[in-house]
Structure 1
Amino acid sequence: MTRAPGIVCVIGGGRMGSGIAQSFAAVGSTVVVVESDQETAAAALDRIRTGLGHAAERGLLDGSAGQAGARVTTTDSIASLPVHADLVVEAVPEDAALKARVLAAAEQAVGRDTVLATNTSSLPVTELGAALADASRFLGMHFFNPVPASHLVELVVAPTTSGETLEAALAWTKALGKKDVVVKDSPGFASSRLGLALGLEAIRMVEEDVAEPEAIDDAMSLGYKHPMGPLRLTDLVGLDVRLAIAEHLHATLGERFAPPQLLRDKVAQGELGRKAGQGFYTWQ
């Protein structure tokens, strides 16, 4: 049986970071979550423990939710991360400069053998790794939302990533009960590049009054067996996140990824999807 990492540190306790922390705690890892202050750290811990409770109710934990939750602690300081951590996963917002600063600080806090990973969905892993003294122990571990229920982790390998680092990430992905896909570092990787192309075209169809969002989503979920339509998925991911990825891919891959005006307008109006209560759908 593949063993989970003993100590995992997750920097950023939002929806994605909490999901990553919950997933590792569920398979036996000791988890430390870094947040900016005590209030947001407490909120992250509550999300994780609530998620573990739901997992226990569905019979998805070997032990109790209390036992798994007790393995999770929080801190507001990257410098206080345990030196002997096996893995650090950065899960802060999609801002390259912020991610680079966080990763560099984490590298200073942990030991030489700790694997460092970014959960970015589109930013160049090679460029983020340039902030590190030793980029050989760095790669992308792109988790998908909601992390505990998703079966996929996209492992993004930069030219500097060592074989040992990839081997460790593959083992940990298996320990989580998830399937890996390994891709070379390139704009949008595989998942974001393909998913965004479909999502942007769906937004253009709404913009051009081809059909209502629900009809477009039904066409893909019922006709092509997608588990979720591209517009509902955009609401789940966040329209602001989709816009940031589109702007990055537009700059690197050209006009086919130009963000539709409707997407820009909705983000400007604060219609960011499920987290805001309104996107292409109204959420309760």
Structure 2
Amino acid sequence: MVRTLDSIESIGVVGAGTMGSGIAQVAARHGYDVVMRDVEEEFVQRGFDSIEDSLDRFVSKDELTEDEAEETVERITGTTDLADLADCDVVVEAAVEDMDIKRDIFADLDEAVPDDVVLATNTSTLSITTIAAATEREDRVVGLHFMNPVPVMKGVEVVVGEKTDEDVVEFAHALAEDLGKETWESDDKPGFVTNRILMPWINEGIRAYDEGVASKEDIDKGMKLGTNVPMGPLELADHIGLDICLDASETLHEELGDRYKPAYLLKRKVDAGDLGKKTGEGFYEH
């Protein structure tokens, strides 16, 4: 039996980076107790700093009171010990996009938490089925791909692995919706819906800039005004992180062939350490 939504009180989050801290913040803001785990105390503290900065922005916009922001932080417990997730009712993994790391985490989680706990992964490109195979509960593993930045974006992509139980899929939709999100569903195919379409768009924008079709500003302006999106491809790449875009593109290139080959300039920027907003420079200065 899968735990019902009304029995869920605590949510475990593995990873305190951009995505993990965002998921922890949203879950705590919606009344759940959260255990946020990362491998080093420094990373956990950085996650709390990110959460507090994000909540301060909501307070400054009068979208949240100072008391509500404080209560949100108080619902989150930080840890470096995976065993501290043992009492969580559901766990969402948001570690780096590396299959070996994710499989190791899921194998450890399989030992650490009760058998009826659903294990979700926030992966944006990697196979849910392959991740789930590291556990003895393949039917209880599902993709919950939150959009970035999690506290702002409304979307969550529910990804169904080869052996994911239908009750788990329904639970995943219900949990995301209870966190104030809207969902759509994807089969476990490379890139799912979002990145399968998004990464070629970003890479073509980078190629257009690299080949001198237009300035980066005009490429972004043209796509914003021409397609009614809030950010153009180069601006969005900086926001996501150029290293993350490269990882996603390389995964899709390996799975789906040359139509997903990463743009040369994207590789060059990552090699130079210019990763976008998080390093202060990407295609733009931040």
For normalisation by structure 2, the TM-score amounts to 0.94
**How far 1:223 sits from its partner (Å)?**
1.4
**How far 1:61 sits from its partner (Å)?**
4.8
* SS class of match (1:111): coil
Alpha-carbon separation, structure 2, partners of 1:199 and 1:109: 39
* SS class of match (1:274): coil
Equivalent of residue 46 in structure 2, options 33, 37, 43: 43
Matches within 5 A, 1:1-284: 5-61=8-64, 64-83=68-87, 85-283=88-286
- Which shifted more, 125-134 or 47-56? 47-56
Distance 1:55 1:87, change over 3 A: farther
**How far 1:5 sits from its partner (Å)?**
3.6
Alpha-carbon separation, structure 2, partners of 1:95 and 1:237: 17
Q: Are 1:26 and 1:61, in contact at CA under 8 Å, matched by a contact in 2?
A: no
- Which shifted more, 43-52 or 139-148? 43-52
Deviations 1:31-81 (A, max 9, x none): 000011222212212322332343344454586212221110011011221
**How far 1:86 sits from its partner (Å)?**
1.8
* SS class of match (1:64): helix
**How far 1:234 sits from its partner (Å)?**
0.5
Alpha-carbon separation, structure 2, partners of 1:117 and 1:68: 22
Give the residue type in structure 2 aligned to 1:34: R
Q: Are 1:4 and 1:172, in contact at CA under 8 Å, matched by a contact in 2?
A: no
Alpha-carbon separation, structure 2, partners of 1:273 and 1:99: 25
Deviations 1:170-211 (A, max 9, x none): 111111111101010000001001000111111110111101
**How far 1:247 sits from its partner (Å)?**
1.0
Q: Are 1:45 and 1:73, in contact at CA under 8 Å, matched by a contact in 2?
A: no
RMSD between superposed Cα atoms in Å: 1.6
For normalisation by structure 1, the TM-score amounts to 0.95
**How far 1:142 sits from its partner (Å)?**
0.5
Alpha-carbon separation, structure 2, partners of 1:241 and 1:52: 24
Distance 1:12 1:202, change over 3 A: same
* SS class of match (1:281): coil
Q: Are 2:40 and 2:80, in contact at CA under 8 Å, matched by a contact in 1?
A: yes
Alpha-carbon separation, structure 2, partners of 1:279 and 1:50: 22
Alpha-carbon separation, structure 2, partners of 1:53 and 1:240: 27
**How far 1:246 sits from its partner (Å)?**
1.0
Alpha-carbon separation, structure 1, partners of 2:49 and 2:14: 16
Alpha-carbon separation, structure 2, partners of 1:103 and 1:195: 27
Alpha-carbon separation, structure 2, partners of 1:3 and 1:174: 13
Q: How many residues align?
A: 281
Give the residue type in structure 1 aligned to 2:144: M
* SS class of match (2:221): helix
Alpha-carbon separation, structure 2, partners of 1:51 and 1:28: 17
Alpha-carbon separation, structure 2, partners of 1:127 and 1:119: 14
In structure 2, list runs of 5 or more residues that go unmatched. Answer: none
Alpha-carbon separation, structure 1, partners of 2:9 and 2:62: 23
Give the residue type in structure 1 aligned to 2:52: R
* SS class of match (2:278): helix
In structure 1, list runs of 5 or more residues that go unmatched. Answer: none
Distance 1:37 1:281, change over 3 A: same
Q: Between the two proteins, what is the percent identity of the paired residues? A: 41
